[in-house]
Amino acid sequence: MKSLPEKDFWNAIRNRLENYKEEPQDDWLKIAGAIPAAGERQGNKPVNLAADLLSVASVVMLVWTLCAVTPAARIWTLANVSTPPVTEKVNGQEADRLKEDNERELKEHKVEQNEKGLPPVTKETESKGNRFGDVLKKVEHNDASQQQASLPELDNDAKTNGRDTRSAHIDGPEESQDTTDSVQTVVAAKADTVFFAVPPILQQKSKTRRKFRPSVYAVITPSFAYQKIVPRRDDNINIQKLNSAGLVSADRLGYSLEAGFQMQVSNHFELYAGFLYYQQNLLVSYSYVTDGDVETVNGTREKWSFELSPGEATRTFRYAMKNGGASAGVLYHIRGRKLMHKLGAGLQYQKGLVRSQGEYSYNNASSSYLNYQLLYRMEYSLSGRTSIFLQPQFVHSLVADEVLREPFTVKPYRAGLGFGLLYHF
Amino acid sequence: MVNNELFERCRKNEGQAQRAMYDQFKATLMGLCRRYARNKEDAQDMLQESFIKIFSKMHQVESADKFESWMKSVAVRTAIDHYHKLKRTDHHAFTTDEYDVADLDYGGILESVSDEYLVGIINDLPEGCRMVFNLFEVEGYSHTEIAELLKVSEGTSRSQLHHAKYLLKQKLSRLGIKRYEKLA
């Protein structure tokens, strides 16, 4: 044969290539580890449902928080006031906060009045309009000993009346709109107790504020990662031994960053919702039985005896997780004012972010995790607006929709100590 | 041909059945992957990924008799995915001069080379040429389909095929010349 016609030549190549077979390395172990189990394929529903609920809760929480701090919401609150003034007793931390609030509100109110073209505040209008003018004068003329002597009485009076009290006047405009725009404060002998004779507008507002007082928080939590490993039952791979780092080992170290909003909803309860990032880099090695050697010991044509000598291989799995997600939960205020103790519980939804192409690399880009979170918070107030907190916490996976190229599934959990900062609006 | 019972057991995610299925088809699919990959290691990666996809998406196949062709198409798609991930920058400069191959004994040369050697020549082709050649000549896709799959124009697909064939002939011719030299 001199030469094949062109068409036949390519057909011959096609036939040979089409039927070409080659024995590959046996990678069944890796393949079996990466095939999702039957339940896993349809098992995303609880995770998705929980994620949806968590997302909705977070969004509601954020909207609620934003509404509570926007001027529109404040104006709405102010417009619905008709209750008479009441003097309230508050602790030092609350007092600081209220004092700052009141000062700022009065300034804002003054600006509004100017913008509306109302007459400027004068000494005359101040003296006419200020229901507490006489009291202020009295205070100015009273000496220190008189003040001390009459304190208990003033305490009682202040609680019930709010007029006949010794007052330290917080600067700000006193305008011609009766008593609704003035603030009277009595600083009592007890350093941590302040009495406010709160005018109706601000009183109502402060109530609203305290009830729905929003805060933003940020917390970094170094943690130790652990995991519950469940071997797959249907892959014929026998794991002999797991070798992971010690209980408290640098190899287990990870951290999470979280930031979000929290809001007081009752005297004892606060809600929180935020976004988080989590990272860990844990090594797990395991030994498994390989096929090994099969040796024929003795036998006849009808009956053979074999001796199996299974081998053992060790493989290392780097559980280098990077997740992003959202969390939401509730805090219960146990006790304390300056140093508050709180218990918390919540849910976290996390999505994997590691997207590696390597054959043996861990890849969790398509994985998602639903975790529950238990925490204890010690919150210390630095000023009326800022607090720092220390937060031991435990996070455990409820559902881990994770596809590993390993002959087992993993349920991660971790324990950590968070350091956080709170800013109160 | 896939056994019905084995197919159903695989659909139920039975490990032993999947292992048996893997053993039955691993050589066939490895052969396919070897044609598309640059080397054996890449082919091994493709094969692994293909089997993971196959066993993960087996519920999409209606019956056992369609399984084998579906399995091959999964492997081809995986190869195309690899091409999109790895290639991108591999723009081969085509030479315009035609190589005179009319007088060479291609039949003899083809008979003398092993399948492994033939696959090796295919592996040495530039990425785009190798993909188009495999898809057009072996799998039977049209240039329109190839253009869509590889995200190139039909013209590019045609010229890649032309160039692939030219390079193959060139390599086989050189082999033939060497053989003649050896015989002489």
Q: In degrees to the nearest 10, what's the CA dihedral of B14, B20, B26, B29?
A: -60
Two structure tokens written together for A88: 């309230």
Listed residue (A161, A157, A165, A162) closest to A139, CA to CA: A165
Cα distances (Å, whole numbers) of residue B149 to B130, B141, B157, B171: 14, 10, 10, 28
Q: Which of A1, A35, A361, A404 to mutate against chain B (most B CBs within 10 Å)?
A: A35
Q: Which of B12, B13, B161 to mutate against chain A (most A CBs within 10 Å)?
A: B13
B102 shares contact with chain A (CB less than 8 Å): yes
Listed residue (B64, B56, B48) closest to B6, CA to CA: B64
Q: What is the pLDDT of residue A258?
A: 95
Within 10 Å of residue A379's Cβ, how many Cβ atoms?
20
- Quote the DSSP letter at residue B180: H
What's the one-letter identity of residue A121? V
Whether residue B59 contacts residue B16, with contact meaning beta carbons closer than 8 Å, is answered with no
- Cα–chain center distance at A116: 42
CB contact under 8 A, A31 and B51: yes
H or E element, residue B106: helix B106-112
Whether residue A172 contacts residue A110, with contact meaning beta carbons closer than 8 Å, is answered with yes
Q: How far apart are CA B135 and CA B83, in angstroms?
A: 12
Listed residue (B34, B41, B116, B39) closest to B75, CA to CA: B34
The beta strands (E) that lie in A239-299 are given as 239-244, 253-264, 269-280, 282-299
Q: How far apart are CA A141 and CA B28, in angstroms?
A: 104
Whether residue A252 contacts residue A301, with contact meaning beta carbons closer than 8 Å, is answered with no
Listed residue (B127, B136, B126) closest to B161, CA to CA: B136
* Half-sphere exposure (Cβ direction) of B21: Cα atoms closer than 13 Å: 28
Listed residue (A346, A185, A331, A354) closest to A269, CA to CA: A331
CA–CA min distance A17, chain B (Å): 7
CB contact under 8 A, A20 and B31: yes
CB-count exposure of residue A372 (10 Å: 0-12, 13-18, 19+): middle
Radius of gyration of chain B (CA): 19
Q: What is the pLDDT of residue A7?
A: 76
CB contact under 8 A, A3 and B105: yes
What ipTM did this prediction achieve? 0.85
Chain B CB contacts of A235 under 8 Å are: 15
CB contact under 8 A, B118 and A9: no
Whether residue A285 contacts residue A314, with contact meaning beta carbons closer than 8 Å, is answered with yes
Q: Nearest residue of B to residue A39 by CA position?
A: B13
What confidence tens digit (pLDDT) does each residue in B76-104 have?
A: 999 998 888 776 545 444 444 444 444 55
Listed residue (B8, B157, B26, B14) closest to B80, CA to CA: B157
The answer to whether residue B53 scores a pLDDT higher than 80 is yes
The answer to whether residue B66 scores a pLDDT higher than 60 is yes
The answer to whether residue B35 scores a pLDDT higher than 70 is yes
CB contact under 8 A, A21 and B35: no
Whether residue A54 contacts residue A347, with contact meaning beta carbons closer than 8 Å, is answered with yes
B27 shares contact with chain A (CB less than 8 Å): yes
Q: Nearest residue of B to residue A41 by CA position?
A: B56
**Domains, chain B, ordered by start:** 4-86 (1.10.1740.10), 106-183 (1.10.10.10)
Q: How far apart are CA B150 and CA B152, in angstroms?
A: 6
Total residues found in chain B within this entry: 184
* Half-sphere exposure (Cβ direction) of B78: Cα atoms closer than 13 Å: 26
- Cα–chain center distance at A113: 40
What's the one-letter identity of residue B158? R
Q: What is the pLDDT of residue A125?
A: 42
Report the mean per-residue pLDDT for chain B. 82
The beta strands (E) that lie in A110-264 are given as 168-169, 184-187, 194-198, 214-231, 239-244, 253-264
Q: Which of B10, B12, B22, B125 to mutate against chain A (most A CBs within 10 Å)?
A: B22
- Cα–chain center distance at A362: 27
Write down the domain spans for chain A: 28-66+212-424, 86-198
User: What are the residues whose beta carbons fall under 8 Å from the beta carbon of A10, sequence distance 6 or more?
Assistant: B137, B165
* Half-sphere exposure (Cβ direction) of A409: Cα atoms closer than 13 Å: 20
H or E element, residue A420: strand A408-424
Q: Nearest residue of B to residue A27 by CA position?
A: B48
Two structure tokens written together for B33: 């992957």
- Quote the DSSP letter at residue A192: T
The answer to whether residue B42 scores a pLDDT higher than 80 is yes
Q: SS3 of A300, please?
A: coil
Domain covering A28-66+212-424 assigned CATH 2.40.160.20 in the classification: yes
Name the β-bridge partners of A421.
A218, A388
User: What are the residues whose beta carbons fall under 8 Å from the beta carbon of B169, sequence distance 6 or more?
Assistant: B99, B101, B106
Q: In the A/B pair of chains, how many CB contacts fall below 8 A?
A: 108
Listed residue (A181, A182, A158, A157) closest to A170, CA to CA: A182
Q: What is the pLDDT of residue A239?
A: 78
What confidence tens digit (pLDDT) does each residue in B123-181 have?
A: 989 888 999 999 999 999 999 999 999 988 888 899 989 999 888 888 887 776 555 44
Which residue in the block uniquely carries the two structure tokens 């998602």? A368
CB contact under 8 A, B15 and A21: no
B44 shares contact with chain A (CB less than 8 Å): yes
Q: How far apart are CA A313 and CA A30, in angstroms?
A: 14
Q: How far apart are CA B109 and CA B178, in angstroms?
A: 11
| Residues in chain A, pLDDT under 50 | 1-2, 39-44, 70-91, 119-198
Q: How far apart are CA A67 and CA B127, in angstroms?
A: 58
**Among the partner residues B28, B115, B134, nearest to A16 by beta-carbon distance:** B115
Two structure tokens written together for A57: 């809760």
Angle between helices A200-211 and A71-79 (to 10 degrees): 130
Q: What is the pLDDT of residue A59?
A: 65
Q: What is the pLDDT of residue B131?
A: 92
What confidence tens digit (pLDDT) does each residue in A66-107 have?
A: 555 544 444 444 444 444 444 444 445 555 666 666 676 666
Name the β-bridge partners of A169.
A184
Chain A CB contacts of B19 under 8 Å are: 28, 32, 236
CB contact under 8 A, A23 and B28: no
